[in-house]
Amino acid sequence: MKVSKLICAVSLIVATTLSGAALAHEHKGGRHDAQPHVSLKHMLSGVELTDSQREQIKQLLQQHRQEVKPQQQELAAHQALQRLLLEEQYDELAARELLQQLQQQQVEKRLATFKLQHQIVQLLTEEQQEQLKQKQIRRQNKTQRQHETS
């Protein structure tokens, strides 16, 4: 393999790996798009839910899972990127288009997760929402302190 082809291939691998790592870093506390129930458990920890609220949340989660199932388009874009990697000529335009498609799909998934979280918060009583607000303030303060000391 020519050195220039090898450099292009390695560059594409690094770019896709770094974009994935950046997305994973954004979800450090929980994978919001892939497993919203994990972040919801964290978000709702310490909030006592009624049986009715638990059932409504369960239904919302089931609906969300159906809406956010991995799309065929996403799989096809990943496969196309892998094929581009093996091409003789580097096609930056095609790679850019595929990466933009993947990015847009990620945005749509995150929006769906945010909508789910909002719907769940709306199920809570005012007292429970206040508990969440206080928890969020404590978390922000902790994060701010960590950034100040580093």
What DSSP character marks residue 124? Answer: S
Tell me which of 4-8, 51-55, 75-79, 132-136 is least confident.
Answer: 4-8
**Nearest residue to 28 via CA among 148, 128, 146, 149:** 146
Other beta carbons within 10 angstroms of residue 55's beta carbon come to: 11
Confidence of residue 12 (pLDDT cuts 50, 70, 90): very low
pTM tops 0.85: no
Return the pLDDT at 38.
61
> Which residue is listed with tokens 């498609």?
101
Return the pLDDT at 65.
86
Domains annotated for the chain, with CATH where assigned, are 3-149 (1.20.120.1490)
